[in-house]
Chains A and B, each alone.
Chain A
Amino acid sequence: MTLPDTITGWDWRASAQRIWFLMRREFLAIWKDKRSRTVLILPPIIQLFVFSYAATFDVKNATLGILNEDNGPAGRELVARFSASGAFDPVARLTSVREIAPLIENEKALAVLHIGPTFSRDLLGARNTGRTAEIQFIVDGRHSNTALIANGYAGNIVEEFTASYAASQPGAVPRMMPRLVTHAWFNPNFESRWFIITGLVATLTMIVASVTTSLSVARERELGTFEQLLVTPLRPLEILVGKILPPAILALGEGILLALIGITIFGIPMRGDPLLIIAGLAVFMLSVTSLGVMISSLASTQQQAMISAFCFMMPAIILSGFATPIENMPEWLQVATYANPLRYMLVISRGVFLQDMPASLVLANIWPMAVIGVITASAAAWLFRNRLQ
């Protein structure tokens, strides 16, 4: 037999055809496998629903113990304001200071409002004596954020109480009250859910994409089908494209589905250009699937691939700004987040959904993901042939 001696060069048509057939096979492989089909569709949707309700920083109906030692009207008025605020749910009326500690320690109440016996008197005299009336607000600090917010609510209630008290006093001089006017942009009611759902759209699709791809090569290696691919005319680059694109396309569809659920069911506004989200998601998915294929090519068994994928995903979710802001992390750790594609996608998702982020800014967050994708994809292609046994 003879082979042509002339170098024919790269035949893009033949190459495209091979990729096309490989992609068809990969689509079928994901779709026809009951297990991967289940992993792909159901869990992300369930998780979107559960987590969007679960992940809230809002403090509502925080349990409150009340110790009112004051007999005057001011004390009653203040207690009434706390009860009516909606932020607090009075669960216990205390009669002595000794009862405070066990109530909080045993988590029967998150906070205790303690109004001393002289409160009404002090308040009346405050204008003349210059002394202030004191109240105590004790919060369980075991959950620092809840404590912080509950403390803030208490401050607001007391402030409103003071303002209305001052205004209601007979002979009160109408004085100008210098006030701060606060506007919440993009999310006027401080809805935690808007923040979480726009984040989940990116995070859940990332999990789907990494789980499906990180198993793809490792599984084929175990089954022996990967060798069969390597002896065909498929080049490593073509295998790479054929392995990366199908899960990326499926996960992109998944992401769009989740975004639609967010918009229609949870009423998330879509203020920017939806095409920008899709563009961002597409590049994000490509970078995640490249990373997944790289992990998969490194691993020699499915188990290793799974643990490696876990070791990638867990930090990726934590160090992305998904649940807590990147700015709160130590400087050195903030630097590490630049290698995390999810970080950029979250900016795009939240930016386009809520802030009508301009295309130029979206682009500024797309290219780092593209760079991560190119690096991991090259590593994966190299590993195909050089990591055998």
Chain B
Amino acid sequence: MNAAVTFRDLRKSFATEAGSTVALSGVNGAMAAGRVTGLVGPDGAGKTTLIRMLAGLLTPDSGSIELDRTARVAYMPQKFGLYEDLTVEENLTLYADLNGLDRTARETRFNELHKFTNLGPFTDRLAGKLSGGMKQKLGLACTLVVAPNILLLDEPSVGVDPLSRRELWQMVRALQETGITVLWSTAYLDEAERCDDVILLHDGAVLDQGSPAKLTERVDGAAWRALLPESNVRKRDLQRAAGRLPGVVDAQIRGRYLNVVMGQTGAAPDLSPIPALKGVTAERIAPRFEDTYLAALRGEGRATALARTHPDTPPTPKTNGVGQPVIETRDLTRRFGDFTAVDKVSFTVSGGEIFGLLGPNGAGKSTTFKMLCGLLPASGGEALVAGFDLGHARADARGRIGYMAQKFAYLGHLSVMQNMTFAGGVYGLSGKLLAERIEEALTTYNLHSYTDTPCSELPLGIKQRLALACAVLHRPAILFLDEPTSGVDPITRREFWGRINAMADEGVTVLVTSHFLDEAEYCDRMVIIYRGRLIAAGSPDEIKSAGGSKDGASLEEAFITLVENYDRDHPP
């Protein structure tokens, strides 16, 4: 294997108000020629810094990058520089001009690109009016106006629905066949499995690298699954119980199965301590890439926080209000001009339920979510939370809900303590009670060492913990979570869901949106919204069977089937 790009001991720090933060601390690696290398890691791991260095846009503080001087490197930034007020054609023309592609060669190349990206019919559409997936395809086309030898893609699949994601992968594979070396950076671990090689980045350092198969090989024999027997014990209770079993590092529900990752390879998990799983034996399965990641992090001792997420004693489920309808929408509709963003969506969420609102970006789930929170008036129908329309409800009605926005919504230059004081104060907590609650939250969410840190300087995972701590400081009965785990690493994600589960056990109703379909496994029930309509509803198992998936298949596959079926039955 000859390397198209080799980099050694790359280091980079950025100055901040408080001093400096280290983005990369001695990164070594290589991109094999003609292969797709995945640069995998959560937000803030240093992926973008590394790619920008490879593209020549950042100079490393120290270290070296070796690449063939004659190679043409093309780079597609995360927020690709599409001019949203220019049409598809105009964007392409601009990049063709800037790259010096002459007019005769241009026509052939544009035709190729149009065919390649399927953007042919949309040449006169403004780039701003394209869907997330189409924007990425156009961005890729602009990057490819002159065929490169090396293609660097920074998180090309962010904000892209599963269908378009699949298409992007097909495009990249097609490019690879023409001999192009590709670097694909991503926070999604399932994407890493599709790469030829993977560089696993965490906190500015390389955790591991090699082919996905090789990497997962190391945890071969650590992954197991058990078919869950029919019982009235809730799956997430089983998951929690399994997670606390000796030797178990991770337990996840996958449909009707309980997937378990062991700390040591070879030994099957002993599920007998869990009464509902008496007599159930686990079978060995091929490990997933995510398991490697967990194992790698664990090896570095980074997973200690996880232990704290699961309370030692199982909580006594509160029955107050459980089972009664808490959130209801009836024919909820929202129009923007002549565009119907949400079209007659109806569903009911019961007390104590974790309810998922899923769908690709731009499908209408955020609009639905905003109407439920009272942030956006409905054009038709009703959205009731605990019997109130929150847009017009009295202050105390809004006091019963907790809300965690998709973007970190606390003032960056205020400290953790100052933001928490505000978050509690506006919900009516004060004096001793407020101080107690904050103290409790600092302990529960392990934030004590950050009390005086300005929020903008917190690592992403800590920000996310703080946002949740603030949202539940006043002990809300209903919790609204908008894309709570986008961009965070799997450990933080597990930690997060551990807390959400615990809250649901105490009778809190949780409504969560996500475009990350694997996460839907954590939900009791969910709806899928696509093109403004509700196209499926039910438990994860029900959704999967509606999508015609077999046992153990991912929700994503079911989702793609459902969407394709919908598109077939309702051509746009």
Contacts and interface: CB of A to CB of B under 8 A. Distances in A.
A179 interface: no
Determine chain B's interface SS by DSSP, over half rule: loop
Contacts of A22: 422, 426
B375 A388 contact: yes
Interface in A1-55: 1-4, 7-8, 14-15, 17-18, 20-22, 24-25, 28-29, 32-34
B426 A29 contact: no
A387 to B, nearest CB: 11
Interface stretch (B54-62, B100-108, B297-305, B392-400): B392-400
A29 B374 contact: no
B477 A234 contact: no
Interface residues of B, number: 50
A232 to B, nearest CB: 5
A233 B425 contact: no
A32 B414 contact: yes
Given A223-B409, A227-B405, A389-B376, A233 B428 contact: yes
B394 A8 contact: yes
B421 A21 contact: yes
A381 to B, nearest CB: 14
A230 B374 CA distance: 8
Interface string B422-435: 10011110100000
A15 B428 CA distance: 9
A233 B422 contact: no
Contacts of B376: 388-389
Contacts of B78: none
Interface in A339-389: 385, 388-389
B425 A17 contact: yes
Interface stretch (B66-74, B215-223, B383-391): B383-391
A28 to B, nearest CB: 5
A231 interface: yes
Contacts of A229: 426
B279 interface: no
Nearest to B322: A1
Interface string A157-175: 0000000000000000000
Given A21-B422, A388-B376, A3 B410 contact: no
B373 A32 contact: no
B401 interface: yes
A224 B413 contact: no
A184 B327 CA distance: 75
A264 interface: no
A280 B171 CA distance: 68
B396 A8 contact: yes
B166 interface: no
B497 interface: no
Contact of B409 (A225, A234, A235): A225
A224 B395 contact: no
Interface string B398-419: 1111010111111111100010
B425 A385 contact: no
B347 to A, nearest CB: 18
B134 to A, nearest CB: 22
B509 interface: yes
A226 to B, nearest CB: 8
Interface string B306-340: 00000000000000110010100000000010000
Contacts of B374: 230-231
B405 A233 contact: no
Interface string A205-233: 00000000000000000011101111111
Contact of B425 (A24, A223, A235): A24
B230 interface: no
A4 B399 CA distance: 12
Interface in A277-329: none
B428 A1 contact: no
B463 to A, nearest CB: 13
A61 B388 CA distance: 76
- Tell me which of B374, B414, B426, B477 has the highest count of chain A C-beta atoms within 10 A of its own C-beta: B426
A187 B396 CA distance: 58
Contact of B422 (A2, A14, A24, A235): A24
Contact of B398 (A224, A225, A233): A233
B425 A28 contact: no
B321 A228 contact: no
Contacts of A225: 409-411
A1 B386 contact: yes
Contacts of B326: 1
Contact of A18 (B388, B391, B426, B509): B426
Contact of A17 (B388, B413, B430): B430
A187 to B, nearest CB: 45
Nearest to B390: A231
Nearest to B403: A231
Q: How big is the A interface, by class?
A: 35 or more
- Tell me which of A18, A22, A233 has the highest count of chain B C-beta atoms within 10 A of its own C-beta: A233
Contacts of B569: none
Nearest to B376: A388
Contacts of A33: 413
Nearest to A36: B413
Nearest to B373: A231
Contact of B397 (A3, A224, A234, A388): A3
- Tell me which of B324, B413, B477 has the highest count of chain A C-beta atoms within 10 A of its own C-beta: B413
B351 interface: yes
A233 B426 contact: yes
A34 B17 CA distance: 9
Given A8-B396, A235-B395, A227 B375 contact: yes
Contacts of B262: none
A17 B414 contact: no
A231 B373 CA distance: 7
A28 B418 contact: yes
B373 to A, nearest CB: 5
A224 B375 contact: no
A233 B430 contact: no
B407 A223 contact: yes
Nearest to B321: A1
Contacts of A232: 398-399, 403, 426-427
A241 B346 CA distance: 37
B375 A21 contact: no
Given A1-B320, A1-B351, A3-B387, A234 B426 contact: yes
Interface string B169-210: 000000000000000000000000000000000000000000
B395 A228 contact: no
A363 B543 CA distance: 70
A231 B375 contact: yes
Interface in B16-40: 17
Given A29-B413, A388-B375, A21 B396 contact: no
A29 B421 contact: no
Interface in B415-455: 418, 421-422, 425-428, 430, 454
Contacts of B422: 21-22, 24-25
Contacts of B258: none
B405 A224 contact: yes
A72 B395 CA distance: 92
A78 to B, nearest CB: 68
Contacts of B478: 1
Interface of A: 1-4, 7-8, 14-15, 17-18, 20-22, 24-25, 28-29, 32-34, 223-225, 227-235, 385, 388-389
19 contacts: A1-B324, A2-B386, A4-B396, A15-B395, A17-B425, A17-B428, A18-B426, A24-B421, A25-B418, A28-B414, A224-B408, A228-B403, A228-B409, A230-B375, A231-B374, A231-B398, A232-B399, A233-B396, A234-B395
8 smallest beta-carbon distances between A and B, as pairs? A21-B425, A233-B395, A228-B409, A1-B477, A1-B321, A224-B407, A231-B403, A233-B399
Given A1-B400, A231-B375, 19 more contacts: A1-B509, A2-B386, A15-B395, A21-B426, A22-B422, A25-B422, A223-B409, A224-B406, A224-B409, A225-B409, A227-B405, A228-B409, A228-B410, A230-B374, A231-B398, A233-B427, A388-B375, A389-B336, A389-B376
